[in-house]
Amino acid sequence: MIQRETSARTQRSTVNPSGGPVRTCIGCRKRELAVELLRVVAVDGGNGTGNGSSVVTVDVARKLPGRGAWLHPDPVC
């Protein structure tokens, strides 16, 4: 019998059969529904110096531009 390796794409699609988006927590690397995680993004620090400094902020509306990252809301994570 021949066994096939499951592709990463297939594995990702089977993580959540209900169809909601799944993201990986940058703290613990566990995959969770996006609604269970906080999205954080780096935004311009706004200090006017133009030196490229950024501030990490929680993206409550999940609409800020940029790549963003996902974190569990638990400080232990």
pLDDT at 42: 93
pLDDT at 52: 72
**Cα within 13 Å of Cα(2), Cβ side:** 1
Buried/exposed code over 34-57 (b: 16+ C-beta within 10 A; e: otherwise): eeebbbbbeeeeeeeeeeeeeeee
β-pairing verdict for 54-58 and 38-44: antiparallel
Taking a C-beta distance cutoff of 8 angstroms, is the pair 31, 23 a contact?
Answer: yes
Give me the residues of the chain with pLDDT under 50, please. Answer: 6, 9-11, 13-14
Name the one residue in this structure whose structure tokens are 């800020």.
64
